[in-house]
Structure 1
Amino acid sequence: MTATLETRGLHVSFGRTPVLRDVNVTVPAHTAVGLVGESGSGKSTLGKTVVGINTPRQGQVLVHGEDVFAVSRRRRAAMRRQVQYIPQDPFSSLSPRRTVGQTLAEALDPVRARPADHEEAIVHALEQVRLDAGAMRKYPHQFSGGQRQRIAIARALVVQPRLVIADEITSALDVSVQAEIVALLRSLERTMEASLLFISHNLAVVQALCEHVVVMYRGAIVEQGRVDDVYRDPKHDYTRTLLASVPGSEGFHLD
């Protein structure tokens, strides 16, 4: 079976500064993969490169076997719809001038963005993240941080993507809300067709949510494998340091 996402020999630089070095990552179909490492390790850069925000200096980004950077502009636009990115701060990514319904309609139809044309799909996406249909008519400031994160997840799901990239989406939330979002994602994993690349510095959250883990250090992959195997028997010194320094947030644990 073709992987949902595969990067091959990916190099990304900002100016003359290398940020990603020979990154090879595979996200199998219908699988949650955690991408961990300290701040500045290159995790978010990798996620933004996959969705086309950054352009690689060298290497390939394959979505279901197609190289995102080797296809026509029209095809690339269609492929980007298949890969949805959820940022860390949903408030800054949600327009304060648009209702939730307009925001989700824009994801479905960027030209007209009329909620009435897509009401069934929008309501279904909101129900998936446990928000009622009335949320369509409200604005982002009328919701809590956890609810705004649910809206951001709904915006990603409404287009029925093949891959969802969640970039530190629990880090700004308090522990109880963080646990709710993780529980929601675990529930969604059982029903949605998409794979998940979950970017986080929280190893305990990754353990609770993901089947596989990829460890990044200074722009390179130093270790990857099944979560339980890597956590139980880390092979790289950096992975051992990470595991030793992060005991896990309240409500989670590292076995």
Structure 2
Amino acid sequence: MNPQTNLAVTEVAAGRGRHAAAVRKLNVSFGAAHVLKDVTMAVPAGTVVGLVGESGSGKSTLGKTLVGINRPTSGEVLIGNEDFTRVHGKARQQMRREVQYIPQDPYSSLSPRRTTGQTLAEALDPRGADPVKHRDAIAAALQRVKLEPSAADKYPHEFSGGQRQRIAIARALMLEPKLVIADEITSALDVSVQADIVRLLQGMRGTIDSAMLFISHNLAVVQEVCDEVVVMFQGRIVEQGTIDSVYRDPQHEYTRKLLASVPGSPEFTLD
């Protein structure tokens, strides 16, 4: 492992460090399948951390555990300094608002019966969902993702896939959560549209307070978007560090294989 990995693990294990979210000795099983195995990692506040690995490595399981969709078998899920696994009722509902999830599919993640304004208003007030009441906040959210405020009056079928994904990003940021989990959000899009989303995320860095866990199998996209990268293999973290350190000097054989397999670049480098 890189030195950065050891530092992150040490800080989380000791309860130190300023993290938007972290997991400590996390295990997740579904029946006899042990999917996550003693995972300890952190998403530092204000950063974008890439989570990479092949299909079945446990990436999405980790993301869905952080947002509360999956329940851990053992271990801790820390949102800020609170253990998500130990809170219940209204306290748990409040903590769930601190972690927002952007799913992979921009076509099924938005209700076809709701206008964009209603969808964004619902993020702020699930019971009311009044787009008129929250008109200014909705307009600001749409402008943040480079859409016109008039988009609030339209339905999902009136948008392209890339525009729908921008709306999903806007929805996730409405509450200014501690952490946004972006789960393969470019993989269902055409290459040119992927590039637009990447440019959008790049432009937003430094302008929002939320940290992001960016789950992807595309290491080239992770390089462009993220500050740090975490590599998962068979339910375990095998490497973690800054983009520069891991991509230039990968320590684990699996990381080296991933970097060497980037399409169009058999010997992938940053140069």
TM-score tier by shorter-chain length is: over 0.9
Distance 1:216 1:164, change over 3 A: same
**Unmatched segments (≥5 aa) in structure 2:** 1-16
Show the counterpart of 1:106: 122
Match status 1:117 vs 2:133: yes
Q: Which residue of 1 aligns with 2:25?
A: 9
Partner of 1:48: 64
Please state whether the residue corresponding to 1:184 is helix, strand or coil: helix
Are the counterparts in 2 of residues 37 and 201 from structure 1 also a CA contact under 8 Å? yes
Name which of 247, 252, 261 aligns with 1:245: 261
Check whether the contact 2:247–2:269 (CA below 8 A) recurs between aligned residues.
Answer: no
- Distance between the aligned counterparts of 1:94 and 1:21, measured in 2? 33
Among residues 223, 241, 253, which one is paired with 1:225 in the alignment?
A: 241
Report the residue type matching 1:201 in the other structure.
Answer: H
Instruction: Give the 3-state SS of the residue equivalent to 1:52 in structure 2.
Output: coil
Give deviations 1:133-190, integer Å, cap 9, x for gaps: 1111100010000000000001011111111110000111112111110111111112
Unaligned runs of 5+ in 1: none
Local SS of the residue matching 2:86: coil
Matches within 5 A, 1:134-153: 134-153=150-169
The answer to whether the 8 Å contact 2:248/2:270 transfers is no
Task: Return the match for 1:25 from 41, 47, 61.
Answer: 41
1:210 is matched by which residue type in structure 2?
C
How far the C-alpha of 1:21 sits from its partner, in A, is: 0.5
Paired residue total: 253
CA RMSD of aligned residues (A): 1.4
Deviates more, 1:136-145 or 1:156-165: 156-165
Matched, 1:213 2:229: yes
- 1:248 to partner: Cα distance: 5.9
What TM-score do the two structures reach when normalised by structure 1?
0.96
Q: Does the residue aligned with 1:53 lie in a helix, a strand or coil? A: coil
The Cα shift of 1:112 comes to: 1.5
Q: What's the counterpart of residue 85 of structure 2? A: 69
The Cα offsets for residues 180-205 of structure 1, whole Å up to 9 and x where unpaired, read as: 10111111112001001000000010
Q: Does 1:194 align with 2:210?
A: yes
CA distance in 2, matches of 1:180, 1:73: 40
Going from structure 1 to structure 2, the CA distance change for 1:253 and 1:133 (only over 3 Å counts) comes to: farther
